[in-house]
Amino acid sequence: MLDDADDIHPLFHGAPKTTEFRKLRKRLVRETREAIERYGMVASDDRRDPDAPRPKWLVCLSGGKDSYTLLAVLTELQWRGLLPVDLLACNLDQGQPGFPATVLPEFLQKMGVPHRIEYQDTYSIVVDKVPQGRTYCALCSRLRRGNLYRIAREEGCSAVVLGHHRDDILETFFLNLFHGGKIATMPPKLLNDAGDLMVLRPLAHVAEADCEAFARAMSYPIIPCDLCGSQDGLQRQAIKALLDGWEAKAPGRRAKMFSALASVRPSHMLDTDLFDFAGLDALVRDPGEIVENPTQPPALR
pLDDT in tens, 146-177: 999 999 999 999 999 999 999 999 999 999 99
72 within 8 A of 218, measured Cβ to Cβ = yes
**Residue 113 identity (one-letter amino acid):** V
pLDDT at 1 over 50: no
pLDDT at 116 over 80: yes
Question: In terms of Cα–Cα distance, which of 288, 167, 181 is closest to 236?
Answer: 167
Local confidence band at 131 (pLDDT 50, 70, 90 cut-offs): confident
Local confidence band at 86 (pLDDT 50, 70, 90 cut-offs): very high
Q: Which domains does the chain have, with CATH numbers?
A: 10-261 (3.40.50.620), 268-301 (no CATH)
Show Cβ contacts of residue 163 under 8 Å, excluding neighbours closer than 6 positions. Answer: 60, 62, 64, 66, 67, 69, 70, 201, 203, 211
pLDDT at 4 over 90: no
pLDDT for 48 equals: 67
pLDDT for 235 equals: 84
Cα separation of 35 and 29, whole Å?
10
| Burial class of residue 212, CB neighbours in 10 A (0-12, 13-18, 19+) | middle
Mean pLDDT lowest for which of 81-95, 103-117, 219-233, 238-252?
Answer: 219-233
pLDDT at 233 over 60: no
pLDDT at 90 over 90: yes
Local confidence band at 98 (pLDDT 50, 70, 90 cut-offs): confident
pLDDT for 292 equals: 53
pLDDT for 227 equals: 57
Cα separation of 236 and 297, whole Å?
39
**Secondary structure class of 58 (helix, strand, coil):** strand
pLDDT for 2 equals: 47
Pairing mode, strands 198-200 and 189-191: antiparallel
